[in-house]
Structure 1
Amino acid sequence: MTYSSHEIDEEQMRELIEFCQEDYFLLGILKSKKLIFKQTAYIEGKLVGVIMAWKNDFHPYCTYFRLLTNPFYSSWNIESLLLAKLGKQSLPLQTSIWESTTNLKQLYEANGFKEIRRTYMPVLKVDAVDLEIVNDCSIKKLKELLINPTLKIKLLQFVRKTYEETHLDNPVADKSLEEWEKLLIEDVLVEGSFIYLDKLEQNVKAYSFLHESDQPNTLELGWCGGVEFDFLHSLLLTQLHYAKEHNVEFLQGEFDTTSPYAMFSLSALPFAPSSAWVTYRN
Structure 2
Amino acid sequence: MDKTELDSLIKNYQEEDEIRALLNSSSLIDCQPAYNNKELVGAIITWENEFHPYCTYVKLVVDPNAPYDTENYLFSKVDADKPLQSLVDESDKRAINFFEALDFVRVRKTYIARFNIGTSMIDQQINKKVIPLHKIGLLKSDLVKLVKSNYEKVHIDNPVAKRSHSEWEGLIFASDVNMNGSFIALDEEDRIVAYSFLHNCDNETLELGWCGVSDETHLYLLPQLVLKQGSFAKKVGIQNLEGEFDTTDENAMYVFMELNFEVIESLVMYREEKNSCEKKN
* Same fold, judged at TM 0.5 (above): yes
In 1, Cα distance between equivalents of 2:47 and 2:162: 19
Counterpart of 2:169?
181
- Structure 2 residue aligned with 1:225: 212
Q: 1:117 to 1:193 in 2, by over 3 A?
A: same
Residue 33 of structure 2 is aligned to residue 40 of structure 1: yes
Tell whether 2:261 aligns with 1:261.
Answer: no
Deviation at 1:76, TM superposition (A): 5.1
Q: For residues 238 and 270 of structure 1, do their structure 2 counterparts lie closer, same or farther at Cα, with a shift above 3 Å needed?
A: same
Task: Note if contact 2:28-2:48 (Cα within 8 Å) is conserved in structure 1.
Answer: yes
Q: How does 1:60-75 map to 2 (within 5 A)?
A: 60-73=53-66, 75=67
AA partner of residue 218 (structure 1): T
C-alpha separation in 1, matches of 2:228 and 2:21: 35
Judged with a 3 Å threshold, the aligned counterparts in structure 2 of structure 1 residues 15 and 221 are, in CA distance, closer, same or farther, namely farther
Give, as a single letter, the amino acid of the residue that structure 2 aligns with 1:197.
L
Q: Return the offset for 1:230.
A: 2.0
Measure, in 1, the Cα distance between the counterparts of 2:246 and 2:115.
17
How far apart, in 2, do the equivalents of 1:61 and 1:33 lie?
Answer: 17
Give CA deviations for 1:141-182 in whole Å, capped at 9, x if unaligned.
Answer: 11111xx23x11110000000000011121111111111111
Task: Give the secondary structure class of the aligned counterpart of 1:61.
Answer: coil
Are residues 1:94 and 2:85 paired?
yes
Give the conservation status (yes or no) of the 8 Å contact 2:88–2:269: yes
C-alpha deviation, 1:115, in angstroms:
0.6
Whole-Å separation in 2 of the counterparts to 1:172 and 1:192: 27
2:140 maps to 152
Q: Which runs of 5+ in 1 are unaligned?
A: 1-5
Match of 1:116 among 96, 101, 107: 107
Counterpart residue type for residue 168 of structure 2: W
For 2:103 and 2:232, the matched residues in 1 are separated by 45
Q: How far has the Cα of 1:257 moved from its partner?
A: 0.4
Instruction: Tell me what 1:13 maps to.
Output: 6
- TM-score, normalised via structure 1 length: 0.87
**Are 2:112 and 2:263, in contact at CA under 8 Å, matched by a contact in 1?**
no
Higher RCO (C-alpha under 8 Å, 6+ residues apart):
2
Higher percent of residues as helix: 1
Q: Which amino acid aligns with 2:103?
A: G
**Partners of 2:153 and 2:37 in 1: how far apart?**
49
Partner of 2:161, secondary structure, is coil
Which 5+ residue runs of structure 2 have no aligned equivalent? 273-281
- Match of 2:76, as an amino acid? A
Amino acid aligned to 2:186: L
Native 8 Å contact 1:20 1:69 kept in 2: no
Residue in structure 1 matched with residue 277 of structure 2 by the alignment: none
How far, CA to CA, are the matches of 2:75 and 2:247 in structure 1?
A: 27
TM-score (norm 2): 0.88
The percentage of aligned residue pairs carrying the same residue is 37
Task: Kindly provide the CA deviation profile for residues 219-277 of structure 1, in whole angstroms up to 9, marking residues without a partner as x.
Answer: 11122101311221221111010111111111112100001111111012211244421
Secondary structure of 1:40's partner?
Answer: strand
Equivalent residue, structure 2, for 1:168: 156
Shift of 1:19: 0.9
Q: Count residues in correspondence.
A: 267
Contact 1:14 1:24 (8 Å CA) reproduced = no
2:74: which partner in 1?
A: 82
Residues 16, 191 of structure 1: alpha-carbon distance in 2 compared, 3 angstrom cutoff: farther
> Is residue 253–residue 266 contact of structure 1 (8 Å, CA) maintained in 2?
no
Q: In structure 2, what is the Cα distance between the partners aligned to 1:222 and 1:173?
A: 20
1:14-45 superposed Cα distances (whole Å, 9 cap, x missing partner):
43233122242322322333222220123466
